[in-house]
Amino acid sequence: MSISLSPAQERLIQTKLQTGKYNSAEAVLEIALRLLDKYDLADAEWSEDVGEKIDAAISASAQTLPIDGETFVNQILERFQQKRIEIDFNRFWADSYDKIDPLRV
């Protein structure tokens, strides 16, 4: 497969190579692709979690007094956004960065 990189992408790869941490552009791209897979997995887990929480909210709504729909949705969206930020930071960046061994690429 052949790919074309933008000048900014090429500069980013060159900058990474100049640190001496990576042996080749392929090593940089391999790590980027692994991180993309981890991100996609985290995103899928987040989507599943959101679906479960929506189902739970629907079930709970049958047993509670009605509230304004806009207020309800905004409260749920705020909680989901806070959880997503927490997941992205804790699970994706911190965990993924520590586990990557550039010498194995």
Whether 64 is in a domain gets the answer yes
Distance in angstroms (rounded) separating the CA atoms of residues 47 and 68: 25
pLDDT tens-place string over residues 71-102: 889 999 999 888 888 877 776 666 555 566 55
- Domain of 90, in residue numbers: 7-104
Regarding pTM above 0.75, the answer is: no
Mean pLDDT of the chain: 86
Total domains in the chain come to 1
Whether 2 is in a domain gets the answer no
pLDDT band at 103 (very low <50, low <70, confident <90, very high): low
Whether 96 is in a domain gets the answer yes
pLDDT tens-place string over residues 5-52: 999 999 999 999 999 999 999 999 999 999 999 999 999 999 999 999
Token pair of 57 as six digits: 């909210």
| Inter-residue contact 42 to 88 (CB < 8 Å) | yes
Whether 1 is in a domain gets the answer no
